[in-house]
Amino acid sequence: MTPEYWNDAKKHLRKSDPVLKEIMRSCRDVDMESRGDAFQTLARAIVGQQISTKAAQSIWNRFAECAVDVTPAKVAALEHEALRACGLSNAKARYVRDLASHFATGALKPRRWAKMENEAVIEELVQVKGIGRWSAEMFLMFHLWRPDLLPVDDLGIRRAMERHFNSGRAIKKEKMRKIGERWAPYRSVACWYLWRSLEK
């Protein structure tokens, strides 16, 4: 199951950007899918902070195996060293347990988020330790399926835009946003294909 806007987004992106059209052609069988419930999606975002997509998936697989069932109660009960053994840093191990505690105690109320604006959700999420703007944006993209986000702080997006739009040179956030203007209102989908392009 993918977002209802997915096919419309692909048509728009193919028309608006020839470079992205070529990237999409090489990834044509790939569609964005949900990464689980609200807790799992946020936990994944924490795990993936400042590391490559491939490394994040490897650590997540070990983490999920350790937890057996990735629920707030199960994760909150894990020892710090068990989380460290999965490949999480000291900080990320603390953040994941803190996130689990917020869910388990009801401090976070995810049922409200579907009706809230992007910035309002981000403002609420960044109150949790370890969740900054990037993590909140990942949540909006992969759980709430908001169609028009461009996380300019994401390492993979930056690398992909440097490769495909800036001749391999370092790129500034302002230029990233400028390039992304042509993808609106489906910048989330454009980002999905940029991530996939790094796997080639």
Of 31, 37, 153, 154, which is the active-site residue? 154
55-110 pLDDT, tens per residue?
999 999 999 999 988 999 999 999 999 999 999 999 999 999 999 999 999 989 89
How far is residue 196's CA from residue 200's CA, in Å, rounded to a whole number? Answer: 7
Residue 189 confidence class, pLDDT cut points 50, 70, 90: very high
Q: How far is residue 39 CA from its own chain's centroid?
A: 13
Instruction: Answer yes or no: 154 catalytic.
Output: yes
Q: Inform me whether the pLDDT recorded for 168 exceeds 70.
A: yes
Q: Which CATH number fits domain 6-33+149-197: 1.20.1440.230, 1.10.1670.40, 3.90.190.20, 3.40.50.720?
A: 1.10.1670.40
User: What is the pLDDT averaged over residues 162-180?
Assistant: 97
How far is residue 126's CA from residue 108's CA, in Å, rounded to a whole number? Answer: 11
**Pick from 130, 73, 69: nearest CA to 104:** 73
What 3-state class would DSSP assign to 24? Answer: helix
| Structure token digits, residue 162 | 């440097």
Residue with tokens 């629920």: 71
Residue 1 confidence class, pLDDT cut points 50, 70, 90: low
Query: Domain 38-142 falls in which CATH fold?
Result: Endonuclease III; domain 1 (1.10.340)
| Structure token digits, residue 127 | 């109150």
> How many CB atoms neighbour CB 50 within 10 A?
12
Average pLDDT, the chain: 92
Tell me what pLDDT residue 118 has.
95
Percent of the chain at pLDDT > 90 equals: 77
| Structure token digits, residue 106 | 């009801």
Q: pTM value?
A: 0.80
Residue 30 confidence class, pLDDT cut points 50, 70, 90: low
User: What is the pLDDT averaged over residues 33-48?
Assistant: 85
Q: Inform me whether the pLDDT recorded for 31 exceeds 70.
A: no
135-158 pLDDT, tens per residue?
899 899 989 999 999 999 999 999
Tell me what pLDDT residue 170 has.
97
Report DSSP letters for 105-128, one per residue.
HTSS-GGGGGGS-HHHHHHHHTTS
How far is residue 86's CA from residue 63's CA, in Å, rounded to a whole number? Answer: 5
What are the boundaries of each domain within the chain? 6-33+149-197, 38-142
**Pick from 57, 48, 47: nearest CA to 155:** 48
How does 109-146 read in b/e, with b if 16+ C-beta sit within 10 Å?
ebeebeeeeeeebbebbeebbbbbebbbbbbbbbbbbb
